[in-house]
Amino acid sequence: MIFNIPYTYINFYFNNALLFYLIINGILLFLYLIIWIIFQNKYNLFKSYSLSIIPTLIFLISGILLGYFLLIVFSIIFGICHIYISISSYSD
């Protein structure tokens, strides 16, 4: 974050949260890259869904584990818009 708004950021609030954060985000990032490599030249509904849901999950899990309320709110907005745009561009 460039700056933190006071009283909106809790930080990791349970033991080993940093380890959990790194493992979950690492798995999701690896899954994203594998799907992107496999379906690089193909365009199907699975690719549209997965490449829009995985980043949303990364942001949402990061917001939950960090206890950052604004990141949770904006990741939900991002997810809704990103999934909508991906699916609508697939149907065109």
Residue 10's pLDDT is 79
**What is the rounded CA–CA span in Å between residue 30 and residue 24?**
10
Confidence of residue 1 (pLDDT cuts 50, 70, 90): low
Residue 11's pLDDT is 79
DSSP assignment of 39-78, as one string?
Answer: TTT---HHHHHHHHHHHHHHHHHHHHHHTBHHHHHHHHHH
Question: pLDDT digits over 47-89, tens only?
Answer: 888 999 999 999 999 999 888 888 999 999 999 999 999 888 8
- Is 67 within 8 Å of 9 (Cβ atoms)? yes
**What is the rounded CA–CA span in Å between residue 23 and residue 7?**
27
Residue 92 in this model has a pLDDT that exceeds 80:
no
More confident residue, 23 or 43: 23
Determine the angle formed by the axes of helices 17-38 and 45-66, rounding to 10 degrees.
170
